[in-house]
Structure 1
Amino acid sequence: MDAAGWRQTLRAADDGLALQPPVDTGEIAAVELRLGITFPAELRGLYEATDGIFDKPGEWFVMWRLGDVARWNLEAWNGWESEARRTLLGFGDDGTGDPFCVALDGKPTIFSWSPIEQEARPLAPNLREFWLGWLSGQMKT
């Protein structure tokens, strides 16, 4: 999905979410270089639409800002997290500290990572289905 498609999808469910200004491809490329990975196409398109999604009622970024993606993934990959966490790219969280992640192996599945259990739980088959479920309140983490 391109940036315009993402903005339309996310704005359709205006339930107190604040979309941030988009990032340009150069900023995404810089974070990819810093992390040594390539963003999945869906996630790249989403960041081209918005640099994070702030949940106003809950007062947290359900989708992290791009700079936080770099910082928090590097902390997880270089810290005490298991080897399995290093195969996932976190891009947001559920408000309790469990990151939402996409696999770095090219599969589009979206996961919730449990730092306590050190395991990933599938949430949705792709990023679009994840956001539709989250925005509708049907997504359970």
Structure 2
Amino acid sequence: MTLPAPPVTLRADAAARTLTVSFPTGAPRRAVWAALTDLGSVSAWLTPAAAAGGGRYVLTFDHEGHRHDKVFEVVECVPGRSLSGVLHDPGFPDSRLSAEIGPRGLALVHSDVPAELDEGYRAGWPFYLGRLAAALEQDAPAPPGTPE
């Protein structure tokens, strides 16, 4: 599946086991925030998501016919600005995710990435951010003076 990709910037620091992914978006901050925090929106661009209580969310991925449930546990949240937490991926060491919405777009840092999962995350984040960009574009209001 090929999606129009936003101009994603991916920096990888193998020694620090950290991926930094960013892309500019003209979407309103509230729309980007909703895409990161509203479970229906997360499910639309990332993967099915469900509340698990206590600031935890189950993210269900289907890969090659196998179901993988990962749990994201929110550690810090500044509404409308940033979100960070721990990603529990059964069978692998925990990793950390943080997302920050800035004036130029979204920056995501995935640190402590297990070596066995590094390649998958390097390919996956740009793909999923492409889906996020498409979802934000689809939900964007028409510019003034544009026929509906």
TM-score (ref. length: structure 2): 0.34
Q: Which is helix-richer, 1 or 2? A: 1
Higher Cα Rg: structure 1 or 2?
A: 2
TM-score (ref. length: structure 1): 0.35
Which structure has the higher relative contact order (CA within 8 Å, separation 6+)? 2
Q: Which is strand-richer, 1 or 2? A: 2
